[in-house]
């Protein structure tokens, strides 16, 4: 019988969709909907570890930093990532506990603020590409940001400049032993961890040091699955299935892909870097490091996707 253990990666927009107010109550409402879907899987007998995106939340924290910078010290990006992990982890853990109580499911829930190891010599540090935070239009703001050593990129479509930071490859999960102990408990705790791909850290002279960078959430989830030794990865996004020719008259949805097919489609540019690309790349890396299957679907079809009745399933062959 297949092992019923899943790493589930939830997109940050599932918690705070574009155009949403981002208030605590709005996020709580979205998270309660997410918790209900996760509880369906737990009720079906699955052990789950949950990771999540944090882009909108970190963006809000950075904006709060900027607005209050003349009154309180702004926090570095690694600390902002930790704040967002704790914020989402708290709301999701509470929602899951409430959902479990309502269904009489006896499972513990723990949120772990998680560090992800990256290479200090990763080429991404010399070539920042990931836009984060608010847009800046005023010349005075741009002068201040450049003086702080920020790299900035102009967005001609939406107008203004945004900070760009490195997005290095995740290598390892620092708290993996703690997470393994929590999920290995006889009651099978649900663990929320590695939010936003994890807080990026490097080793310097034997010490862990946070760095100003952002890790891709899906690539972080692939590493999490590898270090846990679990065989299934579910990437919950805002579309029910992966498509070739997305948005074009030739659009075709896929029920199944092999690793070889996924690599071919990636090389052909079928999956853009800013949307489906990292998800498919994460699927490939997970499967090539010991995973058995990846499901890409939306939250509505989460259970059906795991049961091979919806979504796109990616396997080794």
Active site amino acids: 12-13, 130, 217, 279
User: How many Cβ atoms are within 10 Å of 226's Cβ, its own excluded?
Assistant: 21
Closest CA to 60 of 27, 35, 93, 96: 27
Closest CA to 168 of 206, 223, 207, 228: 223
User: Any residues with CB less than 8 A from the CB of 144 and at least 6 apart, and which?
Assistant: none
User: Any residues with CB less than 8 A from the CB of 293 and at least 6 apart, and which?
Assistant: 231, 232, 233, 287, 313, 314, 315
Cα–Cα distance, 142 to 51 (Å, whole number): 34
- In this structure, the strands spanning 130-136 and 161-165 are antiparallel
Side by side, the strands of the sheet bearing 151-154 are 130-136, 161-165, 151-154
Are the C-beta atoms of 247 and 66 separated by less than 8 Å? no
Sign of CA dihedral 220, 226, 229, 231: positive
Cα–Cα distance, 169 to 23 (Å, whole number): 31
């Amino acid at each position: 019988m297949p092992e019923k253990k899943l790493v589930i990666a939830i997109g940050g927009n599932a918690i705070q969709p574009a155009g949403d107010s981002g208030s605590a109550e709005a996020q709580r409402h979205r998270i309660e909907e997410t918790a209900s879907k996760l509880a369906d899987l737990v009720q079906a007998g699955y052990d789950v570890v949950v990771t999540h995106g944090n882009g909108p939340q970190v963006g809000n924290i950075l904006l709060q930093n900027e607005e209050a910078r003349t009154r309180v010290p702004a926090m570095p990006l690694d600390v902002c990532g930790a704040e967002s992990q704790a914020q989402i982890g708290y709301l999701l853990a509470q929602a899951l506990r409430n959902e479990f109580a309502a269904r009489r499911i006896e499972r513990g829930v723990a949120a772990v603020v998680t560090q992800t190891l990256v290479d200090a010599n990763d080429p991404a540090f010399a070539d920042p590409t990931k836009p984060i935070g608010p847009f800046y239009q005023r010349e005075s703001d741009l002068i201040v940001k450049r003086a702080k050593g920020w790299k900035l990129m102009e967005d001609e479509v939406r107008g203004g400049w945004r900070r760009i930071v490195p997005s290095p490859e995740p290598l390892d999960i620092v708290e993996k032993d703690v997470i393994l102990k929590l999920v290995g408990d006889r009651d099978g705790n649900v663990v929320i961890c590695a939010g936003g791909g994890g807080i990026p850290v490097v080793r310097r002279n034997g010490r862990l040091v946070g760095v100003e960078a952002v890790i891709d959430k899906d690539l972080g989830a692939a590493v999490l699955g590898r270090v846990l030794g679990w065989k299934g990865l579910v990437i919950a996004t805002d579309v029910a299935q992966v498509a070739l020719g997305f948005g074009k008259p030739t659009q075709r949805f896929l029920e199944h892909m092999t690793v070889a097919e996924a690599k071919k489609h990636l090389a052909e540019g079928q999956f853009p870097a800013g949307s489906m690309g990292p998800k498919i790349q994460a699927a490939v890396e997970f499967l090539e490091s010991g995973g058995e299957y990846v499901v890409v679907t939306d939250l509505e079809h989460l259970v059906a996707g795991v049961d091979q009745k919806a979504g796109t399933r990616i396997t080794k062959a």
